[in-house]
Structure formats: structure tokens, C-alpha cells
Amino acid sequence: MCGVCVSSQSNVLNSIVGETVTLPAAVKDTGFLLKAGSGIATVVSHSCQITNYSYSARLRWDPSSGLFSLRGLRTEDSGDYTVQDSGANLKTFHLDVWDPVSRPQVSSRSRVKPSCSVLCSVENGRELTLSWHREGQILSYNSSSNLSTPLSLPLEIEENSAPYSCVAENPARKEIFLVNPEEYCYESVWKPHIKTSAAQGGRSCSLQCSVQNGRELTLSWRTEGETLSHTRDPNLSTLSLTLEIEASNSTYTCVATNPVSEERTAFLPTQVCGQEGHCSHDAVLYVMFVLRLVEFALVTLAVFLLLRLHRQGRILAVHSPRRRSCETVTEL
């Protein structure tokens, strides 16, 4: 057959295990299909005869287009295929059958702004490359001949940036995982603040916990490992949660959490609640300050009065007339 070859053309075809490949060379009436010089199928008078029975269940010839298709590809199907038509035109194709590419997975390494970082990983394969892209630009890439070890590639991502793409590809296929920075970067939560106020009668307290809001922030009241209440609202600038409690020895904790951090503020009711008219810790401090100030003022006033009285006593002693002594004169 090579002796009657008029022209030849070599092409590379890449396909995936389990898929179907079509050889882009037509045999309309009469011709042959060979692999590595060995016959697979013959077309005579618009009729196809498969000569290699290992292909009988997978090889198809389309009479209307004249094209050969091989389905259910296996890695051993890789090799050189030759198609010759009745006009003695011969075309050769090199077929490479590759294993499927797994979809890469992205996990967080650090999710706290501003140094957010992620790790992209994928099951390794022959001639597999893993790379990071942004806006059409390759940022980094990695490949390894050790097929038993997953392929991985870290990346520091910028907040408020364009999306990143982690791409796993071999010569036949690529798989992409899209990363939006806002889904992987979070602000650290602020420490919640507790304000207290006395309920009527002074035997209970109303606690209000508040914190600066953030993305996916949850605020909750907890005691002894139990969550009493919680709230979240992305539309508020400040998140707050109120809790009514009785005077007790239990510690109540206000907890602010998001997916990357947590802050707590504890409150012990016996410190403030249950004291008539003094349910506010701030109020207690204020009253103590006022009492100290009054005490200082009274002491200062007393010292001033004593000094004044002492001074007035000395002045009176200086200006009073001296008493003359009486003497008896005896006339001789």
C-alpha cells in the first residue's frame, strides 16, 4: 500500500479513555484502515469489513461521511493509524489516549485578611500540569512525574481582586476551579462589648451585647456550654443581642464568630445583678467615684475649718487686754 501512496499527512489526535475519536480522513467507496501497518478494516464497494476482530465491537464506519470512529477508547489504543481511500490518498494520524483529568479542589491555608492564601490540589496523571491563572495570565504552575502523589500548588490571593482560576490539564483535557477572593478572605471579628441595665426590682439584669458586623458574622449568648440565643444580619453595621438574666453564679458569655475567627466577652451576674438600683457595672464604678469625691471634699473642708479656727484663736489671744495684778499697799 505504501508503494501506491500518492501523498501522506501526519496529525496528532488526543482523546480521553472511554470517549470516541473520529479519524478525519474519508473513505467513500473503497479503502483501508490500518494501525501500525496492520489491517483493521476494509471498505469495498461501499461496504465495510472489520478484519481485526478485537475492534469489531468498537469500530464504526459511516457510509454517508466515509469516516471511521473508534469508541470506548483505551490507553492501548494509542498509536499510528493510516487511512487510504480509492484514490490512493493516504493519511496517517497519531492517536494519544489519556486518562481523564480530575477536577482540582481548592482549600484555604489562611483566610484572615490581608494575607489570604489557598492551596489547589488534584490527582496526578501523565503529563498533567497544574496552574493558577488570573485575567488570562499564568501566575504559577507545577508538574510532577511522581504519579502516586497528588499535585498541589499554593497561592497568595489579593482581596477585591479579579477571580482566580486553578487549571488542571493534560494534552487532551482541562478542568477548572474558579476562586472568588471574597469567598476565601475574611476580616477578623471584633471583641464584643456588654452593657448592663437593672430590671425593675433589682433582682435581674438586661444584658446587651454588641459588635461591629462583618461577613458571615454570628453573635450568640452562651452559658455552661449551652447556646441561649443567636443572631446574624448582613444588612446591619452593628450586630446586637439582648439577654434577660436573674442574679446567679453562672457566667454568661457573648460570642462573636465568623468562619475564621472568634472573640468572647464573659459576664458574671453576681458582680452587678441582684443589688438594688445597681445593676450596671458602670453605674457602680460611677457611684464609688462620687462617694470618694464627696469623702475627699468633706475631709478637705474639715481640715480647712480646723486650720481657720486655730488661726482665729491665735489672733484673739494677741489682741485681748492683759489683766493687771492687784497689790495691797499698807501705810505705815
2: pLDDT strictly greater than 50 = no
pLDDT in tens, 228-269: 999 999 999 999 999 988 777 788 999 999 988 899 999 887
At 282, the pLDDT band (50, 70, 90 cuts) reads low
**Domain check: are 18 and 94 in the same one?**
yes
Highest mean pLDDT among 17-26, 273-282, 298-307: 17-26
Task: Please tell me the predicted confidence (pLDDT) of residue 200.
Answer: 56
**Domain check: are 9 and 84 in the same one?**
yes
**Domain check: are 207 and 227 in the same one?**
yes
130 within 8 A of 104, measured Cβ to Cβ: yes
**Domain check: are 128 and 171 in the same one?**
yes
**Domain check: are 94 and 117 in the same one?**
no
152 within 8 A of 143, measured Cβ to Cβ: no
Type of residue numbered 318:
V
Interacting residues of 153 by C-beta distance below 8 A, sequence separation 6+: 119, 120, 121, 130, 131, 132, 140, 141, 142, 166
In a domain, 326, yes or no: no
Out of 57, 82, 98, a domain closes at 98
Highest mean pLDDT among 153-167, 186-200, 269-283, 311-325: 153-167
Q: Which residue has the cell 457602680?
A: 284
Domain residue limits at 234 = 193-281
Out of 250, 266, 281, a domain closes at 281
In a domain, 304, yes or no: no
At 202, the pLDDT band (50, 70, 90 cuts) reads low
Task: Please tell me the predicted confidence (pLDDT) of residue 88.
Answer: 76
What are the φ/ψ torsions at residue 81 (nearest 5 degrees)? -115, 140
**Domain check: are 69 and 20 in the same one?**
yes
What is the C-alpha to C-alpha distance for residues 211 and 237, in angstroms, rounded to an integer? 9
Out of 281, 300, 323, a domain closes at 281
On average, the pLDDT of the chain sits at 85
**Domain check: are 160 and 231 in the same one?**
no
**Domain check: are 219 and 276 in the same one?**
yes
**Domain check: are 84 and 114 in the same one?**
no
**Domain check: are 145 and 84 in the same one?**
no
In a domain, 90, yes or no: yes
In a domain, 152, yes or no: yes
CA-based torsion, 22, 26, 32, 37: positive or negative: negative
Task: Please tell me the predicted confidence (pLDDT) of residue 228.
Answer: 93
**Domain check: are 88 and 145 in the same one?**
no
176: pLDDT strictly greater than 90 = yes
Compute the average pLDDT of residues 121-150: 94
Compute the average pLDDT of residues 103-113: 88
Q: What residues form DSSP beta bridges with 79?
A: 95
**Domain check: are 49 and 17 in the same one?**
yes
Check which CATH number belongs to the domain holding 90 and give it.
Answer: 2.60.40.10
Model-level pTM? 0.61
What is the C-alpha to C-alpha distance for residues 209 and 184, in angstroms, rounded to an integer? 28
Task: Please tell me the predicted confidence (pLDDT) of residue 281.
Answer: 53
In a domain, 204, yes or no: yes
In a domain, 223, yes or no: yes
Compute the average pLDDT of residues 289-300: 85
In a domain, 321, yes or no: no
More confident residue, 18 or 291: 18
Whole-Å CA distances, 113 to 104, 109, 182, 254: 24, 12, 10, 24
94: pLDDT strictly greater than 80 = yes
In a domain, 328, yes or no: no
More confident residue, 317 or 161: 161
219 within 8 A of 211, measured Cβ to Cβ: yes
Compute the average pLDDT of residues 135-157: 93
Tally the domains of the chain. Answer: 3
